[in-house]
Chains A and B, each alone.
Chain A
Amino acid sequence: MGHGGGGRLGAELIEHLFLPAFGGTGSILAQLGDAAVVQAGAARLAFSTDSFVVRPRFFPGGNLGDLAVNGTVNDVAMTGAVPLFLSAGFVLEEGLALDELGILAQTMGAAARRAGVEVVTGDTKVVDAGHGDGAYITTAGVGLIAPGVDLGPHRVQPGDVVLVSGPIGLHGIAVLSVRDGFEFGSEILSDTAPLNGLVAALLAAGVDVHMMRDPTRGGVAAILNEIAASSDTGVEIVERSVPVPEPVSAACSLLGLDPLEVANEGRLVAFVGRDDADHALEVLRSDPLGVGATAIGQVVAEHAGVVVARTGIGGTRVVDLPLSEQLPRIC
């Protein structure tokens, strides 16, 4: 099963197996956002869940606990909601060191405080040794969407500018640098961080944001493809505009990876109205988490559903939806 890597295979599982079972076309689930936007009485809520299974659990710049909190906070925040509460479920393998679990829990607590959210409920299960790969954490999060905030693929229009909040590829490379079979020395730290502050800043400044996603598994390539498909528009990017730190570029060259497909855990991609792009960049850049924000492309009416890049030397190529977990190659 290459289905967990955030790309085409995962999408097929959802489309052919889960959707038919849970609601079918037309349901809220079928919108397939990272978070669901639901009406509960007078309140509009964003509701999201994610499971975190990263190996190794500790990597330069963070650990599983950071991802478990920030990942769900970010999925909720991408709808424009203010994240408020999290649940945390743990599936622990018999034999997992208590010290390690303690560190993960402390990390999650600190991350929650940093993000301004509260873990209000949780669950723990222990499975037999050999059946759980150490620790899996599932978090769900809920947030409140203020009136007038309306983000989503339906708002994406030709002419929109595509922004990224900072340099890409850091998380994926940080994890790979300590993974069995591929270890290499590097100073790269995961960029795991809560993005709700950036989102709040954009909305408070009245920026004409149409849609936002955080490019986690499958990277920027996956996000752009998903948005192009769900909004039925084309996306064009300029490769030279995409900010890739040198060591990330070097690691990708060494392993035969495409930086556009490498996971990020502290970046957002925003689609904003053309006339507001400069304003958006100003707002992002004045936040420590958005210092490297830059425009990387635009939305077009042509080639709906397909993402195209102008290559470094002036040619063009399609930026495809990544198949699944990137396999480092030698060829």
Chain B
Amino acid sequence: MCLGIPGRVEEVWEADGTRMATVDFSGIRKEVCLAYVPDVVVGDYTIIHVGFALTRLDEASALETLALFREAGLLDQELGTA
């Protein structure tokens, strides 16, 4: 139960004392609540679940993970097991 999707923060404002944002998901824009991610700013990516940002997505970490995956594949090619 955890449909959390990454989106890019485009605009931030305050409504009734709560920090809100417009987040872009490849052309879809949704209004979400940033109350739980006070450090997130415009340009950051966040994980959105039921209209709330739960965390800043660590882009460097994402790229590292993908690089690791690529290595896993290459290693197998080198070992001749791919």
Contact = CB atoms under 8 A, between A and B. Distances in A.
Interface residues of B, number: 14
Nearest to A247: B27
Contact of A184 (B3, B30, B49, B50): B30
Contacts of A177: 28
Contact of A331 (B3, B27, B28, B29): B3
Contact of A330 (B3, B25, B29, B30): B3
Contacts, number: 42
Interface residues of A, number: 17
B1 interface: yes
B37 interface: no
B29 A184 contact: yes
Contacts of B29: 184-186
A216 to B, nearest CB: 22
Contacts of A251: 25, 28
Q: Among the interface residues B5, B22, B48, which one has the most CB atoms of the partner chain A within 10 A?
A: B5
B77 interface: no
B26 interface: yes
Contacts of B50: 330
Top-9 shortest CB links A-B: A185-B29, A247-B27, A250-B26, A250-B25, A331-B1, A246-B26, A250-B28, A184-B30, A251-B28
Interface of A: 177, 184-188, 246-247, 249-251, 253-254, 256, 329-331
